[in-house]
């Protein structure tokens, strides 16, 4: 049930925050200005502290004390960007939900033109990065390779160069929240949900303070979540690998036969060792791929909450389904 105050909220802005103490005041100021223009007084800013180690939560609390439209959730530990975002989405009450990062790489001022696009009859307006300042060639190259791979592997068209920065309608939010899986890949799940989606090209700024919370290891984890969550093609890859190794072993057999009968020589232990290692590796690769899917099925089967809330400000976090 929506409370009387919730009914007046037309816009929710959801921001996951991890060690973002240096930027939150500027974020609040810029969001307040632009959200006021778009939604009058009917908006809320939801800040989710994803187990930060700095003063992020103290700042969220003080902002909540100053403004009743600032709502805060503190997760019990660092659950990761996608889970923190989901926690915020679960308490969002607006008719439209604007998802942005705390670091101001995605300018909040784009809310106005994105909102205009939504009014043209779309349900999702997702930001598509035309240029990205201050990001290493390595990050750009790996991101590009990832999106290319996803296009090949999955039937769901996950837009290229789009992060989670987007404006969505309530119907899309409800669809997203109805998906119970533990491994969340928000942009992919929203793409999968369908509805009328449109890209909004923009220039992505560099991070204002602090540094990226997405080191290579987290990026890889997100990529594996995305691939295993949206495609079973890698499992078929084991079959292809098997066929390929049958072909290689056939060629080897011909070679061994020829060298024995034609050249009269017997090959030594080195070639046998090479063949054994080759097939051993093919089997191990296949096993690890299958294991990845079984492991994920196991994690999903446990049906654990995807986050825990330890504290909240101006919000009743009991209404959540995916967390506790």
Binding site for ligand UDP (CB under 6 A): 16-18, 20, 50, 78, 80-81, 84, 101-103, 105, 212-214
Q: Which is nearer to ligand UDP, 105 or 154 (CB)?
A: 105
Alpha-helical runs (H) found in 194-232: 216-230
Binding site for Mg ion (CB under 5 A): 101, 103, 105
Q: Which is nearer to Mg ion, 93 or 207 (CB)?
A: 207
Structure-block tokens of residue 288: 């690890």
Structure-block tokens of residue 211: 């540094």
Smallest distance, Mg ion to C-beta of residue 55, A: 19
- Distances in Å between the alpha carbon of 311 and those of 44, 58, 128, 296? 18, 11, 34, 29
Smallest distance, Mg ion to C-beta of residue 104, A: 9
Please choose which of ligand UDP, Mg ion, none residue 78 contacts, taking the beta carbon within 5 to 8 angstroms, the exact cut-off set by kind.
ligand UDP
Smallest distance, ligand UDP to C-beta of residue 105, A: 5
Smallest distance, ligand UDP to C-beta of residue 100, A: 8
Q: Which is nearer to ligand UDP, 202 or 214 (CB)?
A: 214
Q: Which is nearer to ligand UDP, 217 or 265 (CB)?
A: 217
Alpha-helical runs (H) found in the chain: 4-7, 24-39, 56-66, 81-91, 111-119, 137-153, 170-177, 186-193, 216-230, 233-261, 269-302
Residue labelled with tokens 């079984």: 294
Distance CA 46, CA 102 (A): 11
Residue labelled with tokens 């825990």: 308
Using an 8 Å Cβ cutoff, are 114 and 40 in contact?
no
Smallest distance, ligand UDP to C-beta of residue 52, A: 8
Q: Which is nearer to ligand UDP, 98 or 122 (CB)?
A: 98
Please choose which of ligand UDP, Mg ion, none residue 108 contacts, taking the beta carbon within 5 to 8 angstroms, the exact cut-off set by kind.
none
Please choose which of Mg ion, ligand UDP, none residue 90 contacts, taking the beta carbon within 5 to 8 angstroms, the exact cut-off set by kind.
none
Longest dimension (CA), the chain: 92
Q: Which is nearer to ligand UDP, 20 or 61 (CB)?
A: 20
CB-based burial of residue 262 (10 Å sphere; 0-12 exposed, 13-18 middle, 19+ buried)?
A: exposed
Please choose which of Mg ion, ligand UDP, none residue 17 contacts, taking the beta carbon within 5 to 8 angstroms, the exact cut-off set by kind.
ligand UDP
Using an 8 Å Cβ cutoff, are 23 and 213 in contact?
no
Please choose which of ligand UDP, Mg ion, none residue 237 contacts, taking the beta carbon within 5 to 8 angstroms, the exact cut-off set by kind.
none
């Amino acid at each position: 049930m929506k409370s009387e105050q919730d009914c007046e909220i037309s816009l929710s802005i959801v921001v996951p925050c991890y060690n973002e103490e240096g930027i939150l005041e500027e974020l609040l100021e810029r969001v307040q200005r632009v959200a006021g223009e778009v939604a009058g007084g009917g908006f809320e800013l939801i800040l989710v502290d994803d187990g930060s180690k700095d003063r992020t939560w103290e700042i969220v609390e003080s902002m909540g004390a100053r403004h009743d439209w600032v709502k805060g959730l503190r997760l019990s530990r660092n659950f990761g960007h996608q889970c923190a975002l989901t926690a915020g989405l679960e308490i969002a009450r607006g008719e439209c939900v604007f998802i942005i990062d705390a670091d101001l790489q995605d300018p909040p001022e784009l809310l106005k033109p994105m909102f205009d696009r939504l009014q043209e009859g779309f349900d999702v307006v997702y930001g598509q990065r035309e240029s990205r300042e201050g990001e290493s060639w390595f990050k750009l190259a790996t991101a590009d390779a990832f999106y290319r791979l996803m296009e090949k592997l999955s039937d769901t068209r996950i837009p290229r160069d789009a992060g989670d920065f987007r404006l969505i309608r309530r119907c899309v939010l409800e669809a997203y929240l109805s998906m119970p899986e533990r491994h969340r890949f928000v942009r992919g799940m929203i793409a999968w949900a369908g509805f009328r989606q449109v890209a909004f090209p923009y220039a992505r700024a560099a991070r204002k303070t602090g540094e990226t919370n997405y080191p290579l290891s987290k990026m890889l984890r997100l990529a594996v979540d995305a691939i295993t969550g949206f495609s079973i093609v890698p499992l078929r890859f084991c079959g292809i690998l098997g066929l390929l190794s049958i072909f290689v072993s056939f060629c080897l057999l011909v070679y061994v036969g020829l060298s024995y009968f034609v050249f009269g020589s017997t090959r030594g232990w080195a070639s046998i060792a090479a063949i054994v290692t080759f097939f051993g590796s093919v089997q191990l690769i296949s096993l690890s791929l299958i294991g990845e899917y079984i492991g994920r099925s196991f994690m999903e089967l446990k049906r654990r909450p995807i986050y825990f809330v330890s504290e909240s400000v101006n919000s009743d976090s009991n209404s959540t389904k995916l967390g506790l």
